[in-house]
Amino acid sequence: MKKILVTGATGQIGSELTLVLRDQYGAENVIAAAYNRRSSTELPESGPFYGIDVRDTDSIEQIVADHRCDTIFHLAALLSAVAEDRPQEAWDINMNGLINVLEASRKHRCSVFFPSSIGAFGPGTPANDTPQDTMQRPTTIYGITKVSGELLCDYYYRRFGVDTRGLRYPGLISSKVLPGGGSTDYAVEIFYAALTARHYDCFLSAETQLDMMYMPDAIDAAIRLMNADNNTLRHRNAFNVTAMSFTPAKLAAEIQKHIPDFTIAYAIDPVRQAIASSWPRHMDDSAARAEWGWQPRFDLAAMVRDMLEKIAVKIQNG
Ligand code: SER
């Protein structure tokens, strides 16, 4: 990786990944692109930045050509709950955005990182120790775009030799930017509520168990996968990766170790509950461990400690 384009750069993953890449590869070598150009001052100030709509084929290709990009981290997408609300738009952004990136990559010989998700699985998938290779029949439009994206990336690799690689991310927990409309967002919101109101009304049930990961591990995984030796990869799109698996009740209990008067209640949102209930409880990520050395650093206790510290500072600074 020498010249990198990040789409969706102001989103939950992009706003942290872009800065880490700028640190590692030089600010001028990491081009940030986002639909909402005003949602960050840090990214335009720290390196090249473009306001683009990923559905616009020409603007993606222009940036790739102008900057001679060799790698694209394509993060722009609608998340599960918001996609369920606007399914036609979700298909348009998630699929046409991806094919534009793949076409630009085919013409300009770029490698592509595509984030898939636990959402690429469905109710018929084994929910415990979900295998790397298993049945994928998602019931959400988000999941349908993710499994289609996995297949399209595999196709571009086989048919055109585009070096596509991807991860099936679990719910991602981050201290910098809030997730935008996913079904696992409770695991971020809960920290702000715990530190301000000492109470959180959770939109998933107490026993909804899902895979999760702290953002520093999510970023490390993406960079490590893109730097992995091509010869060691048997899979490509996309690898199961997880760092921890918990329920809202278990997360609340861990927060209570730091904030004893914190309370949680449950105000279940039927849409997000139905989405989350169709996803795996715990994925088997042994293929990622074996093929490119995936190894998370943060477990539940370490993640909670770090989140509480960082969010407390954020709240203090307004
Ligand atoms: N966190 C995502 C969502 O809830 C899952 O990929 O949509």
Taking all residues of the chain, what is their mean pLDDT, rounded to a whole number?
96
Q: Is 145 in the pocket of ligand 1 (CB under 6 A)?
A: no
If you average pLDDT over residues 280-296, what whole number do you get? 98
Residues 269 and 159 in one domain: no
Q: Are 151 and 163 in a shared domain?
A: yes
The tokens of 229 are what? Answer: 């030796």
Q: Are 302 and 165 in the same domain?
A: no
Q: How do residues 148-196 score in pLDDT, each as one tens digit?
A: 999 999 999 999 999 999 999 999 999 998 888 899 999 999 999 999 9
The answer to whether residue 142 is catalytic is: yes
Taking CA atoms, 255 is separated from 140, 269, 271, in Å, by 31, 22, 26
Contact yes or no for 67/26 (Cβ under 8 A): no
| CB distance 278 to ligand 1 below 6 Å | no
201 lies in a domain? yes
DSSP β-ladder status, 111-117 and 239-240: unpaired
> How much distance in Å is there from the Cα of 179 to the middle of ligand 1?
9
Q: Please give the residue that has the higher pLDDT: either 318 or 48.
A: 48
Establish whether residue 184 lines the binding site of ligand 1, counting it when its CB lies within 6 angstroms of any ligand atom.
yes
Instruction: Please indicate whether residue 296, judged by its CB atom, sits closer than 6 Å to ligand 1.
Output: no
183 lines ligand 1 (CB under 6 A): yes
Give me the mean pLDDT over the 201-218 stretch: 98
Closest ligand 1 atom, CA of 83?
Answer: 7
Q: Is the CB of 182 under 6 A from ligand 1?
A: yes
Residue found by looking up tokens 């050509």 in the block: 65
- The verdict on 29 and 163 lying in the same domain is yes
- With beta carbons less than 8 A apart as the criterion, state whether 212 and 245 touch: yes
Q: % helix / strand / coil in the chain, to the nearest 5?
A: 50, 15, 35
Domain count, the chain: 2
Q: Are residues 112 and 202 in the same domain?
A: no
Beta bridge partners of 128: 282
- The answer to whether the Cα torsion of 211, 214, 215, 216 is positive or negative is negative
Percent of the chain with pLDDT over 70: 100
Q: According to the model, what pLDDT value does residue 141 have?
A: 98
Q: Which of 25, 35, 50, 142 is catalytic?
A: 142
Question: Which mutation among 75, 80, 93, 116 tests ligand 1's pocket best, with the greatest number of atoms within 8 A of CB?
Answer: 80
d(CA 214, CA 187): 10
Measured CA to CA, the distance from residue 194 to residue 293 in angstroms comes to 35
Sign of CA dihedral 266, 270, 276, 277: positive
Q: Is the predicted pLDDT of residue 223 greater than 90, yes or no?
A: yes
Residue 85 lies in a domain: yes
Strand partners, 265: 201
Q: C-alpha angle with apex 122: 120 to 126, nearest 5 degrees? A: 105
239 DSSP β-pair partners: 167
With a cut of 90, say whether residue 227 has pLDDT above it.
yes
Which pLDDT belongs to residue 180? 83
Which residues make Cβ contacts (< 8 Å) with residue 224, sequence separation at least 6? 292, 293, 294
**212: CA distance to ligand 1 center in Å?**
10
Q: Cα of 231 to ligand 1 centre, how many Å?
A: 30
Question: CA-to-CA distance for 6 and 15, rounded, in angstroms?
Answer: 10
Atom index in ligand 1 nearest the CA of residue 146 equals: 6
Rounded CA-CA distance 215/303 in Å is: 9
Q: Identify the domain containing residue 32 by its residue range.
A: 4-170+214-240
How close is the Cα of 183 to the center of ligand 1, in Å?
5
Q: How far is the CA of 120 from the centre of ligand 1 (A)?
A: 10
Count of C-beta atoms within a 10 Å radius of residue 136: 19
145 & 196 share domain: no
Question: According to the model, what pLDDT value does residue 52 have?
Answer: 94
Q: How close is the Cα of 136 to the center of ligand 1, in Å?
A: 16
Using the predicted structure, report yes or no on whether residue 74 has a pLDDT greater than 80.
yes
Which residue lies with its CA nearest to atom 1 of ligand 1? 171
Q: Is the pLDDT of residue 75 over 90?
A: yes
| 12 in Cβ contact with 179 (< 8 Å) | yes
Residue minimizing CA distance to atom 2 of ligand 1: 182
pLDDT tens, 107-163?
Answer: 999 999 999 999 999 999 999 999 999 999 999 999 999 999 999 999 999 999 999
Shared domain check, 206 and 113: no
- Domain containing residue 91: CATH number: 3.40.50.720
Same-domain pairing of 109 and 179: no
Residue 178's pLDDT is 87
At 20-61, the pLDDT tens digits run 999 999 999 999 999 977 677 889 999 999 999 999 999 999
DSSP character string of 119-149: GG--TTS-SEEE-SS------SHHHHHHHHH
Backbone torsions φ then ψ of 182, nearest 5 degrees: -100, 175
Rounded Cα–Cα distance for residues 285 and 75 (Å): 21
Same domain, 152 and 272: no
